[in-house]
Amino acid sequence: MIIVTGGAGFIGSNLVRALNDRGHRDIWVVDDLTDGTKFRNLADCTLADYLDRDEMFTRLRGPGLPPIEAIFHQGACSATTEWDGRYLMRNNYAYSRDLLNWCLERRVPLIYASSAAVYGGGRVFREDPACEAPLNAYGYSKLVFDQVVRRALPRAASQVAGLRYFNVYGPREQHKGAMASVAWHARNQLRDSGGIALFEGSDGFGAGEQRRDFIHVDDVVAVNLWLWEHPEQRGIFNVGTGRAQTFNELAQAVISHAGHGEIRYVPFPEHLKGRYQSFTEADISALRRAGYDRPFLDVATGVARYMAWLDAHG
């Protein structure tokens, strides 16, 4: 049995679909379907069972539990604008800590989602405490769990791997609303208004020249599955392309696919000043040293693939 928490969400549902494509049907999906629209992400997937997030530990600690091959822990509140710290620490940190302890006690591999938000506004994005300074409560909730993992790794008898996702985009993210990717919002703006709005300059970058490490969800899923296939690899790894590209480049990729449109620039929001990452670029040296040698999609290729998927799926 394989467990995917957050399995009805963006990355989780893509992971379930990829597992299905590899012949795996014995999958428990764990999520919170208070937002019932997320069912669409699983409509073409095959599951063994669905568990509400509050039910999972009851099942894990109950009788008759089948052997668990691995847990892909993707569930979390991913809203960088959420400032209820108690909620974030309960939902993102405490839940993850309890799951880690369960896995360590039973020697079950745990591959979990961390975030590039732990790095904050720095310019060096390396898996090193000296580089970690989150700008928001979401990033802090992820960092605290990473710190617990670091302390647990020397005594761990099974695989524990944390993946610091950079700016992920791709299919099955429509439920995320304001937290959906720049590519998703750019396509919708282009469809509705004929143009794409980007921020004016910030933090020393020109209009639309803020740079992010944009990574297609297919690449994120591929790293998760590769790590599962290599249980000797443990630790915390950045998951990005290793190459920052501008918002202008991403918007142009959306426009190129559509065949029309223009970019316009809007004032940088006051509420984001001091809380916004104007630059991210994953140092993927640790992932490469671990043996992951596959290329990553660049923005032009990845966005074209995503736009084609959206054209086909509505």
Q: Which residues are catalytic?
A: 138, 176
Query: Buried b vs exposed e over 143-155: b needs ≥16 C-beta within 10 Å?
Result: bbbbeebeebeee
Burial of 118 (0-12, 13-18, 19+ CB in 10 A): buried
What are φ and ψ of residue 231, in 5° steps?
-65, -15
C-alpha span between 173 and 188 (Å, rounded): 13
Q: Which amino acid is at 277?
A: Q
How far is the CA of 68 from the CAs of 2, 58, 86, 96, 137, in angstroms? Answer: 6, 15, 31, 17, 32
Is residue 265 within 8 A of residue 208, CB to CB? The reply is yes
Q: Is 5 helix (H, G, I), strand (E, B) or coil?
A: strand
C-alpha span between 184 and 176 (Å, rounded): 10
C-alpha span between 228 and 224 (Å, rounded): 6
C-alpha span between 127 and 143 (Å, rounded): 11
C-alpha span between 16 and 137 (Å, rounded): 28
How far is the CA of 188 from the CAs of 31, 184, 191, 195, 295, in angstroms? Answer: 27, 6, 5, 9, 29
Nearest Cα to Cα of residue 253 among 216, 199, 205: 216
Could you identify the residue written with the tokens 């950079």?
166
